[in-house]
Structure 1
Amino acid sequence: MTAVPAPDISIATFRSGAVAEIRIGDGSRRNALPGAAWARLARQVGELGACRSLRVLVIRGHGDTFCAGSDLTDWVDAEPGYVEESFAHMEEAFSAIEDCPVPVIAEIHGVAAGAGCQLALACDLRLMADSARIGMPIARLGILASPAFAARMVAVAGPSVARELLYTGRLVDARTAVALGLADHQVPAAQLTDRTGRLTAAIAEQPPAAIRAAKLAVGAVLGPQRTATAVNPRPAVARSHFGPAIAAFLGPSAAAAPDPPLAP
């Protein structure tokens, strides 16, 4: 195994490059990421996808949490342009995963919330620990769900589920996530990494050209939907509500806290 550390994201490559892993965060702040880290994630996914020897990519969080979304402290007193840029970097990361030529598997421990939920939904397959939760608790912060955010949820769970979860901000457990289509498998937490390894091995054993063609074929079906979401981009947040909501949500000492509340 070789490991290449980077701030907020680490990469470990296994099996002589056939299977790669991206590990989100460093275990603190529930692996919530600032805007620059989302940009790095996009670049690193692109670089791994360009490796012809790669057959499967696994994304998991560091420690016992997948990703609690964006680091809200990154937006305290931030200029509007910086916030919009952060959301653009998130979308670059999610699109890079969708465009990656090999299957991408999300291994979800703890929570996948907000941008962490979108990160999981951008992957081809999602395995959740039975103790994990997933959802989009963003409306209360004045964050405006983009068409791309909604499209990922609609693609796997349908419009009714997407509406309810976006309207209420409810996080669902692994059993419910599988029933709704948000996740593919519910696995006992202690067995999750082993189950992920068996799935990646099964994929890696297939002819690489066939697996890449299969991902391209599914992507072609979803392509018109993704293209439609790129038309008429909208603001990322409701200005009158966003700043005060972030400040109230974080509280006066949140910047120093190791584990902030669940972020979008």
Structure 2
Amino acid sequence: MSRRTACDPPVRVRTQAGVAEITIGTGQRRNALRSAHWRLLAEQMDAVSHLSALRAVLVRGAGDTFCSGSDVTEWIGAEPDTVEDSFHWMEQAFRAVERCPIPVVAQIQGTAAGAGCQLALACDLRVMADSARIGMPIARLGILPSPAFAARLVQLAGPALARQLLYTGQLLTADEAVTAGLANLCAPDADLNDDVEALLSDIASQPPTALRAAKRAVAEAAGEPPGQHLGPAVSYADLQRGIARFFG
């Protein structure tokens, strides 16, 4: 695999054998994404959704991590409206994944935290490397979880664990995530690529109409996440204090 650099685009799409691979980040800053990157991810996911020949989508991070969330350096001293706009585009990216008519698989190595966790939960299936971690350590930054953020946790792991993760910021190991229902499979780090490829091959071997019908049926049975929260996404003063502590 070629080494990624900061000059690479933050969202890249490659299609092969009925599968679209979407790689996020550049391998820098643990693939933390800025507002424009979330918007680009939403646009690319919507574009992929219209490719009738596809049977599955893989979402993975560049380098050795999935996504550590949003790039909080973008919010240092930013106007509140700028921060709120970032959360708008985050949610648009997650919704684009959820409304994609074909199965979306997250390949998780390193960390899937905060918005990176939400991105993984928006996918249909999650495969984690043994060393990977997943969770929502956002309260310390003054981020106010939206009902949609909470719903993704509750639907997969139940309200008790959702409360625990949001209240404490705990990151779960891969084994813990599988037990909790936040991940479908865990794999030894060295086998992660092969195991994900095998899963995608199994999915892509199914009739496309059946795959699309299955995704619709499960989504309707489970219920869609609630609408985007109309209140503020962050406590602005707490956010700035949290960022200062984080980088202090």
Fold conserved (TM > 0.5)? yes
Amino acid in the other structure paired with 1:243: Q
Give the C-alpha shift of residue 241 in structure 1. 1.0
What CA distance in whole angstroms lies between the structure 2 residues aligned with 1:232 and 1:131?
A: 33
Residue 84 (structure 1) aligns with = 84
What CA distance in whole angstroms lies between the structure 1 residues aligned with 2:228 and 2:22?
A: 30
Alignment partner of 2:235 out of 227, 230, 238: 238
Give the C-alpha shift of residue 242 in structure 1. 1.1
Contact 1:7 1:37 in 2 (8 A): no
Amino acid in the other structure paired with 2:244: A
What CA distance in whole angstroms lies between the structure 2 residues aligned with 1:238 and 1:208?
A: 44
Contact 1:98 1:123 in 2 (8 A): yes
Residue 148 (structure 1) aligns with = 148
Give the C-alpha shift of residue 244 in structure 1. 1.8
2:185 counterpart of 1:185: yes
Alignment of 1:16-27 (within 5 A): 18-27=18-27
Amino acid in the other structure paired with 1:10: R
Taking structure 1 as the reference length, the TM-score comes to 0.89
Give the C-alpha shift of residue 7 in structure 1. 2.5
Cα shift readout 1:114-169 (whole Å, capped 9, x = no counterpart): 00000000000000000000000000110001100000000100000000000000
Q: 1:231 to 1:140 in 2, by over 3 A?
A: closer
Give the C-alpha shift of residue 240 in structure 1. 2.5
In angstroms, what is the RMSD of aligned CA positions?
A: 1.2
State the aligned residue count.
242
Amino acid in the other structure paired with 2:13: I
What CA distance in whole angstroms lies between the structure 2 residues aligned with 1:222 and 1:94?
A: 17
Q: 1:231 to 1:176 in 2, by over 3 A?
A: closer
Q: Where does the alignment leave 5 or more consecutive residues of structure 2 unmatched?
A: 1-6
Amino acid in the other structure paired with 1:198: A
Moved more, 96-105 or 241-250: 241-250
What CA distance in whole angstroms lies between the structure 2 residues aligned with 1:66 and 1:89?
A: 18
What CA distance in whole angstroms lies between the structure 2 residues aligned with 1:25 and 1:181?
A: 26
Residue 256 (structure 1) aligns with = none
Amino acid in the other structure paired with 2:110: G
2:35 counterpart of 1:35: yes
Amino acid in the other structure paired with 1:164: Q
Residue 59 (structure 1) aligns with = 59
Alignment of 1:241-260 (within 5 A): 241-251=238-248
Residue 131 (structure 2) aligns with = 131
Taking structure 2 as the reference length, the TM-score comes to 0.95
Amino acid in the other structure paired with 2:227: A
Runs of 4+ in 1 over 6 A off after TM superposition: none
Amino acid in the other structure paired with 1:147: P
Residue 168 (structure 2) aligns with = 168
Contact 1:72 1:250 in 2 (8 A): no
Amino acid in the other structure paired with 2:234: V
Cα shift readout 1:66-95 (whole Å, capped 9, x = no counterpart): 000000111111110010000000000000
Residue 69 (structure 1) aligns with = 69
